[in-house]
Structure 1
Amino acid sequence: MALFPTCLTDTFYPDTARAVVRLLERLGCTVDFPLDAICCGQMHFNTGYRDHAVPMAAALARAFDGYDAVVAPSGSCVGMVREIHPKLGLGSLPVYELTEFLVDVLGVIDVGAYFPHRVTYHPTCHSLRMLGVGDRPVRLLECVRGLELIELDEAESCCGFGGTFAVKNADTSTAMLTDKMWNVLGTGAEFVTAGDNSCLMHIGGGLTRLRSGVRAVHLAEILASTEEDPWPATR
């Protein structure tokens, strides 16, 4: 199988990609990382630059050709590859969002994780509406030893990121983010988690500017944490 870390994770949150590898190797997988894997073209496609998106999507397909499974810690990028690439004339890759792969392919819910903190979960729009990951992330979190999972009010509401939407419609995006942060703070959680670093960057950035003390952490980093190899914040 292969890791598709996504551009945003590879550039800004490499610890998430490392966590995915540690987690999957702990569960017995052999993980490859093709160095010629590039952007899936989502940002370009979503902003109307289809002609730019197609060659990027084709290059990604070539990089992962031949793998029996491609795993990504991002519902939005998986949605792009699975749902949009075929509409661009490309074949379909066996691509999975991380929680899909853990629950549906490996058949695992308890991954042996340990994270002794209060956590609330934000289901991202693409994972929720495009991929339909459902309760897979919640089921995985419920099996993490030491973790107290706190339900998030209006959890299915968008955080306001939406890629370039946050730039082109900053006022609307900020208003949506404010509602999301208010609900996160209302949980009393120490951490907010999600399956997409794009949403966590948006939510976490807002919470940091408020000096709220609530930290954003990708779901993969929680699932990769154990008593022997804790998340850095617990050290």
Structure 2
Amino acid sequence: MRVALFVTCLNDTLFPQAGRATVAVLERLGVEVDFPAAQTCCGQMHFNSGYRAACVPLVRGFADTFCGYEAVVTPSASCASMVRHYHRVVDPAVTPPPVYELTEFLVDVLGVTDVGAHFPHRVALHETCHSLRLLKVGDRPGRLLRAVGGLTLVDLAGPRECCGFGGTFSVKNPQTSVAMGLDKAADVTGSGAEVLTSTDTSCLMHIGGLLSRGASPVKTMHLAEILATA
């Protein structure tokens, strides 16, 4: 199987460890991963902000860059949902490649839940809006985490509540975004978790910033980073 990594703009710029961890997990399971250097933004930010025309070259470039791969894996539920649900809305002539969020690929394609990880910490899972409502990943992230050696998965009071980031929403509506984020941060702190994880670093960036400002000891890690531990 020819598999490519779509690292995403945010991860490439601010959280490259999520991309490296994704590759580490896949290679541990015997998957050979390519990294097409021509990849750029999937157009999600432009699309969500109403600049559909600006998405067209990005959507076409994405299809050209990843053409021929049997699977494209990304550590981002939001970017995976953009490609899967909206690239053909932007340009009906484009046929997007098969894109999988990491947990989808591990559970559905490889048929794996135990990736051989060991992480002896109390972990809370933030279920992101895109993963729940567009990709419908269901319990895949939880199943993978429960199979990690030494890990204790703790419950949040509102695991499916939006954190308030919402991409450009947090820029256009900062007060509402922060209020939602503070509610989520309080939930995380009250859970007794040592680490908060998620399938999107964008949400972790937002919540993690608020946790840090509140002097909370809870750390944030992308789910791929936990799965990459050994």
- Give the TM-score normalised by the residue count of structure 1: 0.95
Which residue is 1:112 aligned to? 116
Over the aligned positions, Cα root-mean-square deviation in angstroms equals 0.6
Runs of 5+ consecutive residues of structure 1 not aligned to the other structure? 227-235
Give the Cα–Cα distance (whole angstroms) in 2 for the partners of residues 10 and 92 of structure 1: 21
Find the aligned partners of 1:61 and 1:188 in 2 and give their Cα distance.
43
1:200 equivalenced with 2:204 (yes/no): yes
Q: CA deviation at 1:54?
A: 1.1
Unaligned runs of 5+ in 2: none
Amino acid at match of 2:89: K
Match of 1:231? none
Deviations 1:153-191, CA, capped at 9 Å, x for gaps = 111010000001001000110110011011101111110
Question: Which amino acid is the alignment partner of residue 44 of structure 1?
Answer: H
Aligned counterparts of 1:182 and 1:58: Cα–Cα separation in 2: 42
Following the alignment from structure 1 to structure 2, what is the Cα–Cα distance between the partners of residues 141 and 22?
16
Q: Give 2:218's aligned residue.
A: 214
AA partner of residue 36 (structure 1): A
Residue in structure 2 matched with residue 139 of structure 1 by the alignment: 143
Runs of 4+ in structure 1 over 3 Å off:
none
1:158 aligns with 2:150: no
1:30-69 matches, cutoff 5 A: 30-69=32-71
Deviations 1:183-205 (A, max 9, x none): 10111111000000000000011
Match of 2:188 in 1: 184
Cα deviation for residue 219 of structure 1 reads 0.1
SS in 1 for 2:30: coil
Name the count of aligned residue pairs. 226
Structure 2 counterpart of 1:96, from 89, 94, 100: 100
> Cα deviations across residues 12-65 of structure 1 (Å, max 9, x unaligned)?
000110000110000000000000011000000100111111111111111000
1:168 partnered with 2:172: yes
Q: Identity over the aligned pairs, expressed in percent?
A: 61
Alignment partner, residue 27 of structure 2: 25
Q: Under a length normalisation based on structure 2, what TM-score does the superposition of the two structures give?
A: 0.97
Corresponding residue of 2:16:
14
Distance in 2, Cα, partners of 1:42 & 1:136: 24
